[in-house]
Structure 1
Amino acid sequence: MKRLLHILVVLAPFAVAAQQDSGGYNRALAAFNAGDFDTAAPLFFQASESGGDADTKGKAEFFLAQSLAKKGLPVSAFISYAAIVNAGPSHPSYLKAVEGLVDMQQQLDEQNLIPSILNQAYSEEVRDKWVTLPKEVLARINYLVGTVSQRRMRFEEARSLLEAVPKDSRVYAKARYLLGVVLADPRFPGRPGEGEALDKEALAAFNASLSSNEPQVELKATQHLALIGLGRLHYRRGEYADATVAYEKVPRYTRYWDQSLFENGFARFQNEDFGGALGSLQALHAPQFAGAFQPESWILKSTVYYYSCLYDEVKTTLAAFDELYGPMAKQLEPFTAEDGDLVQAYNLVAAENRRLPRPVYLWLRNNERIREVMRVLAKLDEEKRDLSGGPWRGTPLATQTVASLEDVRGTLLQVGGTLARSRIREAADNLRTFSDQAEIIRVQTALDEKDLLQAGVDQKALLTRQSLYRPKMPGAAWNYWKFQGEFWIDEIGYYQYTLKRGCPAKTAEQQQP
């Protein structure tokens, strides 16, 4: 990413010779104040390229960025603001450009380049200057730089930045969620001695995110992630019932519901609620999730059956896993090369692609950072079309801005390609890992069946003597319906299995510790 930032540094100021016009800046400012940005922007461009004094030139660069923003060209404006920020605090419009850059990040919801630029600029030299920025701008900077610190595993730094986001900020819920993730990370420094204290702080951070009522578009999604974060923390602490409570609060059919179903299956299994675990997986394996990439869910399902000594069901589940995911591993092999072209990797995700298995393709497309690259690229291409055919068509301003947009497009393609290639390799590694686990379960099942046979245990008779009962009802308002192979949309997510156990009773000697 550092190399990509250097690419952005050279995009502006624009390197085109312009005829000096001492009155150009004043005429541009008059047009700007009158709301005539079509006239103002080319004049500011000329003034920024003239041989005038540094103060006027710097102001012209800033007002050019402002004009681009007001014309609805946030990517073009972001490039101009970034050039000023990269120039450093000696630039006469430095702090205003920082504020403008944060505004463009919010408009674009850009999570890759702009946070990295702010992170690179966030040095001891400028920190005292940045505290004079508007409170919400500084809060957003702390959050955005905190995301970079978290990705780079600089956990103490991330903690400090995220804790600095005030409660009345519009990014408070996001900052508290990410703070919870940081504090709960097993790699956080000092965890061996301070683990309990860190866990309590993480729980408080997740709960603060959940209790936030700030009017932000992403609030609900952030709070669903906070519920999953709570579930994971309780799970790691062995508090499996509490983990289940958190997972089951993620609303049905929301973006992260499939992930909560899967993880809740693990929590219920660890809590020895085998029927509940299979119920979560039954929902996850419904036709409505046919495009989901969840290979581990089948390994969990076979594990539940294995612990219940239901060996025929183990083999049926592993056969279903092989049928679904066996072909995918071979399909992914051509796309996992170390030296693969990054643009080609991105293009695998950018449009409907039949060369990738559809569940893997959808899994890639659901990655938030990849989605952000796609969104910004779409906006960038729209701006290129507007500039090439709008009122500035053929002007030096349009020519240079389109060239700068094309450079940023190349940078974003590299970022998107890196993310896509990493994600494809992760999918391939997951398939390999879970195929190996499936084989281990398959072998162990065969060995256990052999042991039962040699011990003279009639497992079929053992299962026949057992009765299946209806699961316990959660409350008086609930109805019981026997599942008959049909998936009704209003029933998915409420399944509960009851299981027989094919394990013979342990002898008194076997029960001794």
Structure 2
Amino acid sequence: MKFSLIIFTLLLAKPVFAEEKKPEKTLSQKLEDKKYYYSALNEFFRETYSREVINDDLKRLEDLLYYTGIELLEDYDPSLLNRYPTSSTRFILGRQAMQKKDYKRALDLFGKIHPDHRYFPEGKLLEAQVYDQQNIPKSRLTAYEACQNSAEKNEGSAKTDKIKRYYRMVYEICLVNKARHHFKVEEYQESLDAYNKIPKQSYKWPYLLLEKAWVYYQMGDYNRALGLLTTYKSPLLDTYFFPEAEYLAALSYFRLCLYEDSLTIINQFYKEYRPRFQALDAVLKQNRNSQNYFYNLMFKPGEELKKHEEFVKHIITRMKKQTRFSLDFNAIFKINQEMKRIAHNEKPVIQERLNGHLAQVKENMINKINYNAKTDIFQFLEGVPFLSSELFKLNLEIISRKKDLIYGNKKLIADRSRGDYSNVKRSRFEYFWTFQGAFWADELGDYSLGLKSNCQTVRNQTTEEE
């Protein structure tokens, strides 16, 4: 919803008859006193958009946004927000500029966010993403480190546990992106060091197992990569299913020349996973243009998705744990609470005016969640054909290599045990547990297989004797 330049009558205002009286409070101030922050924010813009904006207005806007969050600013026209040069409006305008690929303006706006402002760390995070789009690695890393340092500083000075958790979350996001930076520039040990700083208690940790596995794969430690992927088999992580993890596992076995293990994973993917993803994709595409289908899906799958409930649950659970969704859901909850209080405490004419606006705000938030959920779901599903193609290529390569062995009258050595402790690489900071068929929480993420490469070939003596 874009901001409408219609001035509401100040229903709650009373005329001032004596000069010695204090100035009567505006409607937005009265609403704020009643803690109707979302309503007060809209009235604040109505009261100030046509006059000169002063510093007190900017301070008050930041105070209101502290309670409402800044996502609501997306509903207002950028030309209006430009009149209020605060760190919050610059953050939103910078993000909009980045989405439009106006990187110069985005960097200018992010650069004007005050270092002491609560969104400064996130501003640095987005700034780093701009440098990523521009392929400027050095500036990207500097911005990620600034994000990490400022988030850690703000966490230390936070007055409530809720705010501490927020800055800890931002800190970890910046740290993860720093790890990804090192991976992109092939600094694998530095990447691994950054990933290892994320505790297992973090909501991001389950997602990072796959990323860490890719780091180990690039370092040639296929046993550790496979061990990390094994973690997803734990009941504690049963809602985290990544088709890419199946591909990486098959690829790791392939690098160890354990072709039968690789083929087992490939065949399982084609037999069990791909058909179900295709069927799920077909159902969801029927609702691609719906404004609330994917929002409702996050709470209860429709009847037509019951047979796909396992996969739907996996996808939806992962999305609901993402930061942006939790913040948006929280905003809708607070809007609903404000609407209830207005309906209970105010006269019908005021209810109609205030709750009419709040209903529009709520609808916009639902549409936004629906859009983001739809985007995430289809990005997930659209990655399946690519992975299917890569697994098909891997399957052909394995068949080709097995043929070459036959034609060359050779075979893989394969005359040893399936694993040995001596094949496990570990640093002095890593513990060693023997896996006894059970997943213990403190061991998750520390697994490594002990497989020896099977790539050595020998002459096929049986064939020669015949």
Question: Shorter-chain TM-score: what band?
Answer: 0.7 to 0.9
- Where does residue 417 of structure 1 map in the other structure? 370
Structure 1 pair 237–66 and aligned structure 2 pair: CA distance change class (3 A): same
CA–CA distance in structure 1, aligned partners of residues 144 and 320 of structure 2: 30
Identical amino acids, percent of aligned pairs: 19
Q: Secondary structure at the match of 1:167?
A: coil
The question of whether the paired residues in 2 share the 8 Å contact of 1:228 and 1:246 is answered with yes
How big is each residue's C-alpha offset from its partner over 1:37-72, in whole Å with a ceiling of 9 and x where there is no partner? Answer: xxxxxxxxxxxxxxxxxxx9xx86xx2122222212
Q: Secondary structure at the match of 2:117?
A: coil
- Where does residue 44 of structure 1 map in the other structure? none
Q: Does residue 70 of the first structure (1) align with residue 33 of the second (2)?
A: yes
How big is each residue's C-alpha offset from its partner over 1:448-489, in whole Å with a ceiling of 9 and x where there is no partner? Answer: 2222232222225455699652524432x7642211221001
- Aligned positions of 1:297-316 closer than 5 A: 297-316=245-264
Would you identify which runs of 4 or more consecutive aligned residues in structure 1 move more than 6 Å? Answer: none
Structure 1 pair 203–100 and aligned structure 2 pair: CA distance change class (3 A): closer
Q: Does residue 9 of the first structure (1) align with residue 4 of the second (2)?
A: yes
Q: Does residue 335 of the first structure (1) align with residue 276 of the second (2)?
A: no
CA–CA distance in structure 2, aligned partners of residues 30 and 148 of structure 1: 47
Unaligned 5+ residue runs, structure 2?
460-466
Q: Secondary structure at the match of 1:493?
A: coil
CA–CA distance in structure 2, aligned partners of residues 309 and 401 of structure 1: 67
Q: Note the C-alpha offset of 1:403.
A: 1.5
Partner of residue 108 from structure 1, selected from 68, 79, 84: 68
The question of whether the paired residues in 2 share the 8 Å contact of 1:345 and 1:421 is answered with yes
How big is each residue's C-alpha offset from its partner over 1:279-325, in whole Å with a ceiling of 9 and x where there is no partner? Answer: 22222342211101422111111111111111111122234444356
Structure 1 pair 268–110 and aligned structure 2 pair: CA distance change class (3 A): same
- Aligned positions of 1:173-184 closer than 5 A: 173-183=121-131
Q: Note the C-alpha offset of 1:91.
A: 2.4
CA–CA distance in structure 2, aligned partners of residues 232 and 147 of structure 1: 21
- Give the AA of the match of 1:208: N
Q: Note the C-alpha offset of 1:270.
A: 0.8
How big is each residue's C-alpha offset from its partner over 1:356-393, in whole Å with a ceiling of 9 and x where there is no partner? Answer: 61111113323433333322222222222211122x13
Q: Does residue 492 of the first structure (1) align with residue 451 of the second (2)?
A: no
Partner of residue 393 from structure 1, selected from 347, 352, 358: 347
The question of whether the paired residues in 1 share the 8 Å contact of 2:152 and 2:167 is answered with no
- Where does residue 463 of structure 2 map in the other structure? none
Partner of residue 14 from structure 2, selected from 13, 18, 24: 24
Structure 1 pair 473–66 and aligned structure 2 pair: CA distance change class (3 A): same
CA–CA distance in structure 2, aligned partners of residues 432 and 67 of structure 1: 56
- Where does residue 280 of structure 1 map in the other structure? 228
- Give the AA of the match of 1:383: E
CA–CA distance in structure 1, aligned partners of residues 149 and 458 of structure 2: 48
Partner of residue 318 from structure 2, selected from 351, 363, 372: 363
Q: How many residues align?
A: 445
Q: Secondary structure at the match of 2:97?
A: helix
- Where does residue 36 of structure 1 map in the other structure? none
CA–CA distance in structure 2, aligned partners of residues 407 and 465 of structure 1: 62
CA–CA distance in structure 2, aligned partners of residues 105 and 325 of structure 1: 45
Structure 1 pair 219–389 and aligned structure 2 pair: CA distance change class (3 A): same
- Aligned positions of 1:444-483 closer than 5 A: 444-459=397-412, 461-463=414-416, 469=422, 471-475=424-428, 479-483=431-435
- Where does residue 293 of structure 2 map in the other structure? 344
TM-score by length of 1: 0.77
Structure 1 pair 169–66 and aligned structure 2 pair: CA distance change class (3 A): same
- Where does residue 202 of structure 2 map in the other structure? 254
Partner of residue 117 from structure 1, selected from 64, 76, 97: 76
CA–CA distance in structure 1, aligned partners of residues 256 and 98 of structure 2: 41
More deviation, 315-324/403-412: 315-324
Structure 1 pair 344–82 and aligned structure 2 pair: CA distance change class (3 A): farther
Q: Secondary structure at the match of 1:497?
A: coil
Q: Note the C-alpha offset of 1:230.
A: 0.8
More deviation, 466-475/376-385: 466-475
Q: Secondary structure at the match of 1:458?
A: strand
Q: Does residue 167 of the first structure (1) align with residue 115 of the second (2)?
A: yes
- Give the AA of the match of 2:40: A
Q: Secondary structure at the match of 2:279?
A: helix
Q: Secondary structure at the match of 1:148?
A: helix
CA–CA distance in structure 2, aligned partners of residues 231 and 178 of structure 1: 16
Structure 1 pair 211–349 and aligned structure 2 pair: CA distance change class (3 A): closer
CA–CA distance in structure 2, aligned partners of residues 434 and 490 of structure 1: 31
Structure 1 pair 260–377 and aligned structure 2 pair: CA distance change class (3 A): same
The question of whether the paired residues in 1 share the 8 Å contact of 2:121 and 2:148 is answered with no
- Give the AA of the match of 1:109: G
Q: Does residue 430 of the first structure (1) align with residue 425 of the second (2)?
A: no
TM-score by length of 2: 0.84
- Where does residue 380 of structure 1 map in the other structure? 335
The question of whether the paired residues in 2 share the 8 Å contact of 1:268 and 1:276 is answered with yes
- Give the AA of the match of 1:232: R
CA–CA distance in structure 1, aligned partners of residues 61 and 254 of structure 2: 56
The question of whether the paired residues in 2 share the 8 Å contact of 1:332 and 1:424 is answered with no
Q: Does residue 219 of the first structure (1) align with residue 167 of the second (2)?
A: yes
- Give the AA of the match of 1:447: S
Q: Note the C-alpha offset of 1:236.
A: 0.7
CA–CA distance in structure 2, aligned partners of residues 109 and 273 of structure 1: 44
Partner of residue 79 from structure 1, selected from 42, 48, 56: 42
The question of whether the paired residues in 1 share the 8 Å contact of 2:70 and 2:88 is answered with no
More deviation, 351-360/240-249: 351-360
- Give the AA of the match of 2:293: Q
More deviation, 149-158/308-317: 149-158
Q: Note the C-alpha offset of 1:25.
A: 3.6
- Give the AA of the match of 1:343: N
- Give the AA of the match of 2:4: V
- Where does residue 149 of structure 2 map in the other structure? 208
The question of whether the paired residues in 1 share the 8 Å contact of 2:410 and 2:458 is answered with no
Partner of residue 396 from structure 2, selected from 443, 447, 456: 443
The question of whether the paired residues in 2 share the 8 Å contact of 1:275 and 1:499 is answered with yes
The question of whether the paired residues in 2 share the 8 Å contact of 1:139 and 1:164 is answered with yes
- Give the AA of the match of 1:117: Y
Q: Note the C-alpha offset of 1:341.
A: 1.4
